[in-house]
Amino acid sequence: MAALKYAGMDDTDSEDELPPGWEERSTKDGWVYYANHDEMKTQWEHPKTGKKKRCAGDLPYGWEQEIDEKGQMIYVDHINKRTTYFDPRQAFTVEDVLVKPKRYDGNTSALEILQGRDFSDRVVLITGSNSGIGFETARSFALHGAHVILACRNLSRASKAVSLIQQEWHKARIEAMMCNLASLRSVREFAESFKAKKLPLHMLVCNAAVCTQPWSLTEDGLESTFQICHLGHFLLVQCLQDVLRRSAPARVVVVSSESHRFTDLLDSCGKVDLALLSPSKNDYWSMLAYNRAKLCNILFSNELHRRLSPHGVTSNAVHPGNMMYTSIHRSWWLMTFLFTLARPFTKSMQQGAATTVYCAVAPELEGLGGMYFNNCFRCLPSMQAQDQSSAASLWELSERLVSERSVGIQAL
């Protein structure tokens, strides 16, 4: 204690509080060091505790490091329009030890999961991302530096979504591209346009869906709910699988639903039945069609992971959350009315996007796939969704359907 007093270190209230004359600084890559202005020296160890520290994570979204006219490093907060010499990461310094993964739940938002992380070297493609969960997924990644592609049917709405995000952060790298999953021709054209950009693809989120649609056939002669929710995404992944493999490690996230539990896809021989997936008008019930499509999503994700994981591409399926107020049910007035009544008790879109984002970025899921997540936790889907033979049967059927409507599609 006498030595501390002699050194001027006994008049601080906290073990981590710096003695007079000392200042905490950080390097560009986040390591903390200490400067003594009286003795004009620096050191890595805390002058009182002797511990080394580093900043936890990257700069918060919207922040950038720049050099001022005097050659000093400054930190610019583009969101709140302010500049400081203080590294904002120093608010989250940790000792130089391994940090355990955080635990998330149904109340977690997508932005919380991405807090402090920099994805400026990542390209993310999200279908159906001009509104709802898809928009919040795109917004969250764009605000953390990723190059985000909105693959949407309505290019006008997608462009408005791009503008909203760029108004929030003018340096957001985000663009809209036309992709109508109800048209296999449109999916192929989109894939070719994307490949022409010569971009990698690190995260592909199959988010687009329709629910409670009146019966209709697509231009490819298939029931629209089945094609938009499943077959269009199946073809999209087939067309982009070479890009995903070159970009490995890459991840695919397929947005499914707990409603997959309330249906079946098999005929009397145990094979996936096209008559159930793409029924006639007389056999069609919109909610059942949606349930079947969501079961297809999980089977597709499982089989995709089995086929592509040896090449560094993983796939997981997610349920975004129960009773969320989105526009997906806009075609059925009763469902819209019920969701309006329940809206005060539902998840927000940011919370709905959390599980998708978690599966796309969680370090603990690196190399892992073929799983189903709800509220950022792994859970077991229905027995049929776990059935490998059903997954293989659906894959074969889907492959046949797209090949009958095209020439030269590369098989996985």
Residue 57: predicted pLDDT: 65
Q: Is 6 noted as a catalytic residue in this protein? A: no
CA distance 158 to 135: 9
352: Cβ contacts below 8 Å, ≥ 6 apart: 132, 133, 136, 320, 321, 324, 326
CA distance 412 to 166: 37
Selecting from 3.40.50.300, 3.20.20.100, 3.40.50.720, 3.30.43.10, what CATH number does the domain 110-408 have?
A: 3.40.50.720
Q: Is 386 exposed, middle or buried (0-12, 13-18, 19+ CB in 10 A)?
A: middle
Domain with CATH 3.40.50.720 in the chain: 110-408
CB neighbourhood size of 171 (10 A)? 12
Distance set, CA 6 to CA 2, 9, 18, 44 (Å):
6, 8, 15, 22
CA distance 210 to 153: 12
Phi, psi angles (nearest 5°) of residue 261? -75, -15
DSSP string, 119-158: -TT-EEEEES-SSHHHHHHHHHHHTTT-EEEEEES-HHHH
Instruction: Profile the chain (412 residues) by mean pLDDT over runs of 10 residues.
Output: 40 68 76 80 82 74 78 78 78 55 87 92 97 97 97 98 96 97 98 98 98 95 98 98 98 97 88 94 96 98 97 97 57 54 68 97 96 96 96 97 74 52
β-partners of residue 163 are: none
Which is the catalytic residue, given 61, 290, 325, 372?
Answer: 290
Residue 333: predicted pLDDT: 53
Residue 89: predicted pLDDT: 75
DSSP string, 167-225: HH-TT--EEEEE--TT-HHHHHHHHHHHHHTT---SEEEE-----SPPP-B-TTSSBHH
Residue 412: predicted pLDDT: 56
Phi, psi angles (nearest 5°) of residue 190? -60, -45
Sign of the C-alpha dihedral computed for residues 371, 376, 377 and 380 taken in this order: negative
Domain with CATH 2.20.70.10 in the chain: 22-95
Contact 266, 328 (CB under 8 A): no
Residue 345: predicted pLDDT: 52
β-partners of residue 93 are: 55
CA distance 99 to 149: 32
152: Cβ contacts below 8 Å, ≥ 6 apart: 127, 128, 129, 130, 158, 161, 176, 177, 178, 179, 208
Would you identify the CATH topology of the domain 22-95? Ubiquitin Ligase Nedd4; Chain: W; (2.20.70)
Please tell me the pTM assigned to this model.
0.77
Residue with tokens 């949407």: 152
Tokens representing 238?
């087939």
DSSP string, 43-86: ESS-TTT---EEESSSPPTTEEEEE-TTS-EEEEETTTTEEESS
Phi, psi angles (nearest 5°) of residue 112? -65, -40
153: Cβ contacts below 8 Å, ≥ 6 apart: 128, 178, 179, 180, 181, 182, 208
